[in-house]
Every structure is written in structure tokens, then in C-alpha cells.
């Protein structure tokens, strides 16, 4: 629940998903007026807002109370459920799209995937995507070198699994046999960030201490007014296997 302590940071500091990713979402043919989307782990509405802007009806599921309050204030047209995704009870064959935007790694897929399969309409799709800061496919920037040095000094164990890897996530989605993968798309992009923006962004990372956040921010400040950072976004399109 780290994120729930700083909903304003989360809303302001998390960068949006790139236009090419949204173009692929629209290319499913399942986005538009009269369509219904379910946004799991909706945060403050980084996916909910663009889906609403496409004319969709959106049910947003978010367990964090403060994040949910911020989402409701920012996107009052969404139907909000303040709950873990695994705990909600929704109508069968109701949704054209179920999306999980930088959230599915927090969820118990053994519980959730059978539910998602029931919730989707025939022809519906599960879309899973996330932004990855840096990544193996992009050059190491001076700020990224500072970040890697900070992480290397930690005495606590690294995160288990590889939630930032599209193929690893795809394998989890297909492990139950309930879903097959239609498409995996990868989108590299860059953004200019100030030291204050770095501070806000890194404050939303669940495994970063305040001291580490301050060090990253001051490192960015030492590099100039702004630093250009590279991101990789990926999108998985999955179909239920029995619908």
C-alpha cells in the first residue's frame, strides 16, 4: 500500500503511456462508445482516463483508499470499486476489455485469471501493459548509472521474479491454459525530466527509501536542468482460450 500514501505524487509524476501503445489498444476494435472496459489496479486513472476519453464506460478497481478517492475526483464518470481485483464479483460476459496497466504483478493470477475469463464477452480481450524505466534494450544514461549504483548498495534482497519483462509476464498469463497470447508489442520512447520530477516519480516506487529518492533527485540535479530518460513500454494482447 506504499502507493496509497502519496496519491498526488502518483497522479502527477507517473509518465503517461505512449501514443503508439494506445493506437494498438484501439486497433483491437474493442474501444469506443457503447463498449465496457474493466481497469484492474487502476491507481489514479492512468488507463481509466484515456479509455473514458474514447467514449467507453469504465469500471475501475483500486484497493488503495486514497488512490481511489483521487481517481473518483479526477474521473467521476468511472464506476469505482475500492477493492482488490481478486475480491470483486462481477457479471459474466460483461466486458469488451479487461486491462491491467502496470498492476498485474501485484495480483494472484491463479485466483484472478479464471474470473477475467468469465467477465469477458465472447471476442473480448485481456490487455496487460506497463512502462519500464530504462531497460536492457536502451542505452545507460548518466542518471541511470546513478540509479544502478544506488540499487547495488542495498542490503535487502532484490525483487523476486521479473515483472518488468513482457515474456515472463506472458508466460504467467498462459500458465493456466485459460488465455493465449495474440500479440506482444514493445515501444521505446524518451522523456525529459527535471530533478523535481525525478523526486516525485521515484517517490512512487515501492522499493525506494526517502534517502534513495533524495540521492537520485540530487544526482539528476547535478546533471543539469533536465535529463532525458529512456523508457520501454510493452503491451500484451491475450484471448480467452475457451470463448
| Domains of the chain from N-terminus onward | 2-240 (3.40.50.150)
Q: Would you state the pLDDT for residue 148? A: 87
Residue 9 has pLDDT above 80, yes or no: no
Give the mean pLDDT of 79-91.
Answer: 97
Contact present, 185 and 167 (Cβ < 8 Å)? no
**In 10 A of CB 47, how many CB atoms?**
26
Residues in the chain: 243
The strand order across the sheet containing 179-193 reads 79-81, 57-61, 36-40, 95-101, 120-133, 227-240, 179-193
Containing 171, the helix (H) or strand (E) segment is helix 166-174
Q: Would you state the pLDDT for residue 135? A: 61
Q: Residues 127-178: pLDDT tens digits?
A: 999 998 776 666 778 888 898 899 888 876 555 557 789 999 999 999 999 9
Q: Residues 177-226: pLDDT tens digits?
A: 999 999 999 999 888 888 888 888 888 777 788 899 899 999 989 988 88
Among 1-15, 81-95, 167-181, which is the least confidently predicted range? 1-15
Amino acid at each position: 500500500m506504499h502507493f496509497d500514501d502519496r496519491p498526488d505524487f502518483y497522479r502527477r509524476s507517473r509518465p503517461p503511456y505512449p501514443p503508439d501503445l494506445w493506437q494498438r489498444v484501439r486497433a483491437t476494435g474493442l474501444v469506443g462508445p457503447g463498449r465496457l472496459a474493466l481497469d484492474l489496479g487502476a491507481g489514479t486513472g492512468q488507463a481509466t482516463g484515456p479509455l473514458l476519453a474514447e467514449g467507453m464506460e469504465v469500471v475501475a478497481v483500486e484497493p488503495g483508499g486514497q488512490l481511489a478517492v483521487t481517481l473518483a475526483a479526477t474521473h467521476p464518470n468511472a464506476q469505482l470499486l475500492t477493492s482488490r481485483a481478486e475480491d470483486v464479483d462481477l457479471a459474466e460476459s460483461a466486458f469488451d476489455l479487461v486491462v491491467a496497466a502496470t498492476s498485474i504483478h501485484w495480483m494472484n493470477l491463479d485466483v484472478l485469471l479464471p474470473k477475467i475469463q468469465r467477465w469477458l464477452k465472447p471476442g473480448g480481450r485481456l490487455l496487460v501493459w506497463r512502462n519500464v524505466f530504462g531497460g536492457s534494450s536502451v542505452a545507460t544514461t548518466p542518471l541511470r548509472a546513478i540509479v544502478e549504483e544506488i540499487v547495488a548498495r542495498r542490503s535487502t534482497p532484490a525483487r523476486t521474479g521479473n515483472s518488468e519483462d513482457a515474456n515472463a509476464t506472458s508466460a504467467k498469463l498462459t500458465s493456466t491454459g485459460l488465455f493465449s497470447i495474440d500479440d506482444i508489442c514493445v515501444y521505446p520512447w524518451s522523456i525529459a525530466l527535471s530533478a523535481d520530477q525525478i523526486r516525485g516519480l521515484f517517490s512512487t516506487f515501492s522499493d525506494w527509501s526517502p534517502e534513495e529518492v533524495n540521492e537520485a533527485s540530487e544526482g539528476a540535479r547535478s546533471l543539469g536542468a533536465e535529463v532525458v530518460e529512456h523508457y520501454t513500454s510493452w503491451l500484451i494482447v491475450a484471448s480467452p482460450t475457451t470463448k
